[in-house]
Amino acid sequence: MQAGLVIGYDPGGNNAHGLAELQVRDGQPTQLLTRTLATAEDVVSFFYSRPFLTAVGVDTLTCWSTGPSGWRPADRWLRQRYPDVRNSVVAPNGLYGSMGLNGMAVLVSARQRFQDVIITETHPKVLYWQIARARYDYANCREEMDGALASRLGIVVAPQTEHEWDAAISALAALQSSEGRWPHDLHRTATAANERLIEPCGKTRYSWPE
């Protein structure tokens, strides 16, 4: 990668859409900007205003399962691998609509605008545990969480909200995915006999750092 733009997105409800814009040169971050937008339409408009886009990391379901409770192989893998934070991985059928609907709406729009963009799913709470071995608690551990992210990006990290922090770590995941540094793709975990994966926005990844 020469110059690139990597986006992280944390879909929420009204006035709670976290967005991180990570500028990259020669595979290394140079600047991170975060903001909170009002609606998914604002996020789509942001995407469409950019002339190019390298990769996107989104805290949403980038594919769906037809199996019991909507569980996917990636979900089961995370729950088994990280017992201390397994309850953070919720059955897809029980997730809030803002996460699933807004997230997929933005991804479908992004893929229509940038057909070759790399898309990776993220899970900020479990990902933070993996990189810091600490529980996610932005309200009480903001400095520690910002510091953990800054040390991995090598630049200043200054999100103003939890949603913006989630977007920022999602941008980190997208960068590492696009550079091939996190080759483990949880979406390649084998499906069970009673399920299949549905991909509304085409092929995506679930890049993981182990």
Domain encompassing residue 21: 3-208
Alpha carbon distance 104, 160 (integer Å): 24
pTM: 0.97
Render each residue's pLDDT in the chain as its tens digit; 210 residues: 578 999 999 999 999 999 999 999 999 999 999 999 999 999 999 999 999 999 999 999 999 999 999 999 999 999 999 999 999 999 999 998 889 999 999 999 999 999 999 999 999 999 999 999 999 999 999 999 999 999 999 999 999 999 999 999 999 999 999 999 999 999 999 999 999 999 999 999 999 998
Alpha carbon distance 63, 204 (integer Å): 8
Alpha carbon distance 102, 10 (integer Å): 9
Q: What is the CATH number of the domain that holds 167?
A: 3.30.420.10
The number of distinct structural domains making up the chain is 1
